[in-house]
Structure 1
Amino acid sequence: MDPETHAHQHKTHGHDHTTPTTATWTIAIQATLHCLTGCAIGEVLGMVVGTALGWGNLPTTVLAIVLAFLFGYSFTLYGVLRSGLGLAAAVKVALAADTLSIAVMELIDNGVIAVWPDAMDAELADLLFWASLVISLVIAFVVTVPVNKWMIGRGKGHAVVHQHHGHH
């Protein structure tokens, strides 16, 4: 029996869900793109709102990080709830699946922005604002893919989410 079939059978019969699974680069990239989508929406929204309101760098960054976590968790939560899992269990799955991935992504993303000359002071109309934000998210994606691959290979991260897909 191949490892994926064994992992699927293992998951669908109610056994321990921390069993290592096959973690390909494709699966890790897909999981990271999923995470990046939520993070990017939250990050961009937070930066746009904070900048438009004339907030300083710290409150704008905090808002962006909070919204990145909120949107990142929400995307996963929505999918897991649609699979038929109850709210409390779905929240646990979303937290287990996304916390490390979002944290790494936010650390790298905001770290790049913080060290990029003048990026923290750029306005919404400045090319620097958008260029530094996009490039920082790309760098965060590249750094987070191996993290997700490592987690999925140990039955953690997005491997937890995939255990609930297709269960209605």
Structure 2
Amino acid sequence: MVNKVKRRVSCFPKATYYKPREIPLCCLEIANISIEELEAIRLCDLLQIEQNEAADRMGISRKTFWSDLQRARQKVADALVNGKAIEISGGEYINTGECRVNFLCKECDHMWEPKFDQNRPTNCPSCGSSLIFRLGGDGRGKRFVENDYCCPKEKGSSRNTSEGSKKKLQ
């Protein structure tokens, strides 16, 4: 098996889930786009950078960049045409440090910015809690909501919480 070259990524998405309106996420198929595939779309389609320069920025060959770009575009088209949710996560990449990401602990309200060469933190450095979220979304589609919610697939299950309390949805 050939080792996959880690792509250099300079920007992370502000939101990591997109889905059709009024359909619960638990009822949808999910198309996963990796962070480096999104970076290819961002460089080529949003910033309109030539593929040669975009490949250089990501530290990969032009052919590899083109493959990543085509794969990402195909996944986006599939999700839009077939009514799938889009999740942006995972991949083999290196954060170049140009994009800053802050995290918040829901247990102790500690906010921090991890070092750019670290992976996504799993615990709060202050209290050790695993209830941490990236500001602007947690990067995995989990949301805190104030009202009661029951996914149609889970009818009959008890997911009620006391009034005003928050609960996590997947």
The TM tier, using the shorter chain, reads under 0.3
Q: Structure 1 or 2: larger helix share? A: 1
- Per the normalisation by structure 2, the TM-score is 0.26
Q: Structure 1 or 2: larger strand share? A: 2
Higher relative contact order (CA 8 A, sep 6+): 1
